[in-house]
Amino acid sequence: MKTEEDGTPLTPAVFYILLSLAIGEKHGYEIMKQVKQDTQGKITMGNGTLYGSIKRMLTDGLIEDGGERVDPDKERRKYYRLTERGRQTLGAEMQRYVETVRLMQERQLIPRLSGQVNL
Partner 1 sequence: MRRESSKEKATRLYAFLLTLYPQGYKYAFGPQMVQTFKDYYADVVESGQQAEVPFWFGVVSDEVRGILREQLAVLKESTSMNNVWIKQGILFGILLGIIHIGYNLINNLAPANLTLNSLLNNSILLIVAIFTSVAGYIAVRKTGQLKMGTYAGLCTGLLSIGIGISALFLITFAFMSIIRQNAFMIFDFHRSGLSSIDEFIIQDAVGATIVGITFSLLAGGICGTFGGYLGKIVKGRENDE
Q: Which residues bind partner 1 (CB under 8 A)?
A: 27-29, 32-33, 44, 46-52, 54-55, 75-78
Minimum distance, C-beta of residue 97 to partner 1, in the bound complex (Å): 26
- Provide the minimum distance between the beta carbon of 35 and partner 1 in the complex, in angstroms, as a whole number: 13
Give least dist CB 29 to partner 1, A: 4
Tell me which residue of 32, 2, 7, 18 sits closest to 81, measured CA to CA.
Answer: 18
Q: What is the rounded CA–CA span in Å between residue 43 and residue 13? A: 9
Q: With CA atoms as reference, report the closest residue to 38 among 6, 56, 12.
A: 12
Nearer to partner 1, 8 or 53 (CB): 53
Q: Which is nearer to partner 1, 15 or 79 (CB)?
A: 79
Question: For residues 4 and 6, what is the distance between their CA atoms, to the nearest angstrom?
Answer: 6
Contact yes or no for 94/22 (Cβ under 8 A)? no
CB-wise, 33 or 102, nearer to partner 1? Answer: 33
